[in-house]
Amino acid sequence: MRYRGIIFDLDGVIVHTDRYHYKAWKALADRLGIYFDEEINNRLRGVSRMESLDIILERAETVYSDAEKVGLAAEKNAEYQKLLEQMSPADISPEVLGTLGALKARGIRLAIGSSSKNAGLILARTGIRGLFDAVSDGNNITRSKPDPEVFALGAEYIRLSPEDCLVVEDAIAGIDAAVAGGFDSAALGEAAGYAKATYTLARFGDLLELCPG
């Protein structure tokens, strides 16, 4: 199939900010006296900030009000944004940069479909905002993955139907969202080999074989 548009998850696909998320959540969990490790962190992949907080608070001895939870999520995000200030164009691999450039040269519309509310900051720090025709992120959605809203809006922003778009994801929740929205999907990383994905990519550059010029 000739795809006219590609919608990319951001974290874990275009950039790798997992270590920053982990450090920020760990700092909050440590302050609250809640056990938190890499295994628990893996459960946070592809879900919203508030849902991630609820997972961490499963081990809490204190019951927090909704207002307190909003404050805790804001505390984590402030720490995460401080860590993101360390990012630069050097955080984009030559393979990713070259592949995105080649796809654009082939006339394919590119969009971001991320649950993160920090997508704009990440794109600005890494200097790649100009490579994307549209950004759908946590600031314009009301339901996070596996709901397909973020991808549906991404397709709408680049004026294409789901049938004309390919979603690239590294999280199972993201692949589920793509399927729910009627999109074909290409799985990387943690989601590689997931049965619901249309394709499995060994590396990011394999997209050029799925989207020939």
Higher-confidence position of 153 and 18: 153
Which amino acid, 65?
S
- Please enumerate in sequence order all residues whose Cβ is within 8 A of that of 111, keeping only pairs 6 or more positions apart, or say none: 5, 6, 7, 8, 132, 133, 134, 135, 136, 154, 155, 157, 158
End-to-end CA distance of the chain: 12
Query: What tens digit of pLDDT does each residue of 65-85 get?
Result: 999 999 999 999 999 999 999
CATH 1.10.760.10 fits 18-84, yes or no: no
pLDDT mean over 52-60: 96
Query: What tens digit of pLDDT does each residue of 109-145 get?
Result: 999 999 888 999 999 999 999 999 999 999 999 998 9
Residues facing 187 on adjacent strands: 169, 200
Widest CA span of the chain, in angstroms? 56
Residue 11 appears among annotated catalytic residues: yes
- Active-site residue, selected from the candidate residues 11, 91, 147, 176: 11
CATH class for the domain made up of 5-15+92-210: alpha beta
Domain-wise residue ranges, the chain: 5-15+92-210, 18-84
pLDDT mean over 182-202: 96
